[in-house]
Amino acid sequence: IEEFADWKNKNEQYFEAAFLAHDYDVALRKYSLSDDVDTEHTDYVLVNKIDEEEDAPDACPYLNDTVQVHYVGHLIPSPSFSEGYQFDQSYLQPFDYDTAVPSKFVVNGLTVGFATAVQKMHRGDVWIVTVPYQLGYGTSDNGSIPAYSTLIFEIRLEDFWMKKRGDRY
């Protein structure tokens, strides 16, 4: 059995079923789409809010900001990976603040789906974000990630700052 046989169809079915089930806290529209544009379900990322910082200021990162995040990324379940193949991480599970080292990214250098989510997060938020392949790596392989992969991330937004400040590069 090939690990990712019929992968495009499996990922399309997985994301569509998740979208239609409404088993998520919020669906976020792709950040680059204005409200007057008609959309399809693949123009959204699905978010389950695990932890929200109640005292967070209203500020969220902008597209040109740098974010400092802890994250784990995996694919949908497959024959060998019942929890989905884990393709990247910034910490070992279970999460431990004493050993975890956050990663820094410029938001506009991330996949559209990841960027869409972090631009709505506040410092301290922990979200599970499901990204359709159209807002991930699309129809191309990316390292160990096969083309047409739905991406599922646990994201912890630690901090963010504007490029012009330049105090944390």
Q: Both ends of the chain: CA-CA distance in Å?
A: 46
Does residue 162 carry a pLDDT above 90? no
- Do 7 and 149 contact (CB within 8 A), yes or no? yes
**Mean per-residue pLDDT of the chain:** 91
Give me the pLDDT at residue 100, please.
82
Give me the pLDDT at residue 42, please.
96
Does residue 146 carry a pLDDT above 60? yes
Least confident among 33-42, 45-54, 66-75, 89-98: 89-98
Residue % of the chain over a pLDDT of 70 = 92
Give me the pLDDT at residue 168, please.
44
Residues 6+ apart with CB under 8 A from 120: 28, 47, 60
Residue % of the chain over a pLDDT of 90 = 76
Strands (E) in the chain, as ranges, are: 26-29, 44-51, 66-74, 86-89, 103-106, 126-131, 151-161
CB atoms within 10 A of CB 136: 25
Does residue 5 carry a pLDDT above 80? yes
Does residue 118 carry a pLDDT above 70? yes
Question: Could you give the CA distance from residue 68 to residue 107 in angstroms, rounded to a whole number?
Answer: 10
- Helix boundaries (H) for the chain: 7-21, 112-118
- Mean pLDDT for 107-118 is 97
Give me the pLDDT at residue 38, please.
87
Q: Which amino acid is at 167?
A: D
Supply 156's token pair: 């912890």
Give me the pLDDT at residue 158, please.
93
- Mean pLDDT for 102-114 is 95
Residue among 156, 150, 120, 155 nearest 136 (CA): 150
Q: Which helix (H) or strand (E) holds 1?
A: none
- Helix boundaries (H) for 22-139: 112-118
